[in-house]
A and B are shown apart, each in its own frame.
Chain A
Amino acid sequence: GIQVEQSPPDLILQEGANSTLRCNFSDSVNNLQWFHQNPWGQLINLFYIPSGTKQNGRLSATTVATERYSLLYISSSQTTDSGVYFCAARGGSEKLVFGKGTKLTVNP
């Protein structure tokens, strides 16, 4: 099945800094999603982005399907951005496979 790898595993930022999170996947995908899991466990949809570029406020994402990677950009980070960011991908099956996540800590 498809493999999903995320980097870095941990990231510590000062408030106001920018960051880039990376997701590599092993096969062609027709579903790729970025999620933010907050400290209370809520898994929040950030982007559905099997290809192309999308922006939502301070967050944007780009997926280059031909090169099998996706990037999540966070600009002007805030303490509320802290949590774990998951990338999840699905190829030809029904199974959405999650990466191990990037734990982001934004300090005031």
Chain B
Amino acid sequence: DTEVTQTPKHLVMGMTNKKSLKCEQHMGHRAMYWYKQKAKKPPELMFVYSYEKLSINESVPSRFSPECPNSSLLNLHLHALQPEDSALYLCASSRRALPAVSNQPQHFGDGTRLSIL
């Protein structure tokens, strides 16, 4: 799904670093999502934004801080991560947000592969 663009594709960082993942879509979608995927596991939802407001936080540790500055852009700010946070981070978007979000397909970006040293 190349209509959702994620940068960078790969990121290696130390536990004391601060970095950000970026996700962008220009399809006019008003719901955006962050997922985390560990090796040999399915993607797990982290956050949902609807109309630029955080609507779901799946009890994600505060070292992950999402931000949605506008309807096209979603960031994930990272600080003081642990080695177990190494994973593939996927961004997705869907056309409509609440209350009709359930019946719209999600479109995924190619992900950022994150390694914590």
Contact = CB atoms under 8 A, between A and B. Distances in A.
A89 B7 CA distance: 27
Interface stretch (A55-63, A66-74, A92-100): A92-100
Contact of B103 (A30, A45, A98): A30
A39 interface: no
Interface stretch (B12-20, B60-68, B76-84, B107-115): B107-115
A50 B106 CA distance: 13
A99 B42 CA distance: 7
Nearest to B109: A43
A65 to B, nearest CB: 12
Given A31-B105, A94-B98, A43 B50 contact: no
Contacts, number: 60
Given A95-B56, A98-B43, A101-B42, A45 B102 contact: no
Contacts of B44: 98
A44 interface: yes
A42 B55 contact: no
Interface in A66-108: 86, 88, 90-96, 98-101
Contact of B108 (A43, A90, A100): A43
Interface of A: 30-31, 33, 35, 41-45, 48, 50, 86, 88, 90-96, 98-101
